[in-house]
Amino acid sequence: MEQIFWRDAEGFDLLARERAEALLSDAAEVFSVVRDDGAASPLMWCHLGELFSELCDLPRARYAYDAALSGDPSCADAWYGLALVAIDCGKVIDAMRNLRNSLTFAPLRASPHFHLGRILDKLGRTEEAEIHWQACLELAGEGWLADMARRRLAPR
């Protein structure tokens, strides 16, 4: 019977939606407990921020990353997470500031360089963008992020 259910695209969509709703409900419960307890570490807040970002609950994701930074203002993961939330919300200036803060505390990370390069390129600041894509390429080594940076650096 389960095989038949999985072959049914409409049923699969319903199951996926139900699982996502259950996960969001569970995450919201954990969020409330952690928030009310007041004893969560910055790392725990970062993990909650990532979870809520993946579930597209950006207000809770932002809250979690802000809570992480209130516990540790040098938490590069929280700055990076806030940058991604800002990108998703279309807040380019906030995203740039948060990416730069992330790089202040973790300058050898490829992802913030890549995203900063994308934003700068969209703003017409190509030379600055290329600096960040080059840094991304050097730091990423191999893999999809390096491939993306390589494509961005290729002559147009």
**pLDDT at position 51, please?**
85
Same-domain pairing of 128 and 82: no
Tens-digit pLDDT profile for residues 57-80 = 899 899 999 999 999 999 999 999
Q: What integer pLDDT is reported at residue 20 of this predicted model?
A: 59
Q: What is the CATH number of the domain that holds 13?
A: 1.25.40.10
- CA–CA separation, 96 vs 74, rounded Å? 16
- Whether 10 and 30 share a structural domain: yes
- pLDDT of the residue at 100: 98
Q: Are residues 86 and 29 in the same domain?
A: yes
* Buried-state track 95-112, b at ≥16 Cβ within 10 A, e below 16: bbebbebbbebbeebbbb
pLDDT above 90 (res 44): no
Confidence of residue 34 (pLDDT cuts 50, 70, 90): low
Q: CA–CA separation, 140 vs 120, rounded Å?
A: 19
Query: Residue 155's pLDDT band (boundaries 50, 70, 90)?
Result: confident
Q: Is the predicted pLDDT of residue 2 greater than 60, yes or no?
A: no
Helix (H, G, I), strand (E, B) or coil at 80: helix
DSSP state of 154: S
Closest Cα to residue 140, out of 103, 121, 105, 113?
Answer: 113
Does residue 19 sit in the same domain as residue 93?
A: yes
Number of compact structural domains in the chain: 2
Residue 103 lies in a domain: no
**Are 39 and 93 members of one domain?**
yes
Same-domain check for residues 91 and 152:
no
Domain with 2, as residue range(s), is 1-98
Residues 91 and 130 in one domain: no
Query: 85 and 140, same structural domain?
Result: no
pTM here? 0.78
